[in-house]
Amino acid sequence: MRKIIHFVHTSLDGYIEGPNGEFDWPAMGPELSDYSFSQLERADTFLYGRPVWEMMSSYWPDAESVSDDPHDLKFAPVWRAAHKVVFSRTLTEPGHGAQVINGANLVEEVTALKSAPGKDLLLTGGAALAAELTAHGLVDEHQVVVHPVVLGGGKPLFAASPERLNLELIESRTFDSRAVLLSYR
């Protein structure tokens, strides 16, 4: 069965975006960039909640026209070619070759995705979808990249939950003498 890998960037104080929704603080140095591309060897499908999808689909289709960053230039064609699944109750036509799952039968729909042939599924960013899938036991691995920035508020990586989530650390790495990867299952 395919695995769902939640890959997310967070600040040192545990936020995935700043107080005003800003996401201009993660630094993709060469080592972190190489690691993120190595994850694409494991996965062939990107999973997004609607808010992250809106950010991704507004940037990656034409990234080469607005960026000269080596990571962006390498990732843009990969993103365009990848199978993408968007979870949304309101979006019907996401464009860019993406499929929409409305979440009416979330557990069944995600279980079907995990049971389909192919490589693993990469859930990129976000908090709400990751929390909901985690609550149903559908996320197999959390890869949290901690950046050396304190945002002082914003959207937390994990929202308050009545249930404790005990995880096992399976890997930790430092990238570019800056960011730290913590992988849990």
- The end-to-end CA distance of the chain, in Å, is 16
Q: Which two tokens stand for residue 139?
A: 């996320």
Contacts of 117 (CB under 8 A, 6+ apart): none
Which are the contacts of 75, defined by CB distance < 8 A and separation ≥ 6? 36, 37, 60, 63
User: For residue range 96-140, what is the model confidence (pLDDT) as tens digits?
Assistant: 989 999 878 999 999 999 999 999 999 998 899 999 999 999 999
Which of 128, 151, 154, 153 is CA-nearest to residue 139? 128
For the segment 156-174, the average pLDDT, to the nearest whole number, is 90
The pLDDT value recorded for residue 161 is 77
pTM, rounded to two decimals: 0.92
Give the contacts of 173 (CB within 8 A, at least 6 positions apart): 35, 180, 181
Q: Distance between CA atoms of 170 and 18, rounded to whole angstroms?
A: 28
Q: In the predicted model, is pLDDT for residue 160 greater than 80? A: no
Determine the pLDDT at residue 45: 96
123 token code pair = 């859930």
pLDDT of amino acid 104: 83
Reply yes or no on whether the pLDDT at 31 is more than 80: yes
Place of tokens 């808010």: 51
User: Could you tell me the pLDDT band of residue 164, with boundaries at 50, 70 and 90?
Assistant: confident
Strands 169-175 and 43-49: unpaired
How far apart, in Å, are the Cα atoms of 173 and each of 36, 59, 183? 13, 28, 9
Summarised one tens digit per residue, pLDDT across range 42-81 is 999 999 999 999 999 999 999 999 999 999 999 999 999 9
| pLDDT tens digit sequence for 169-182 | 999 999 999 999 99
Beta bridge partners of 183: 143, 171
Provide mean pLDDT across the span 24-34.
94
CATH superfamily for 4-20+41-160 is: Dihydrofolate Reductase, subunit A (3.40.430.10)
Q: How many helices (H) and strands (E) does the chain have?
A: 5, 10
**Identity (one letter) of the amino acid at 72?**
D
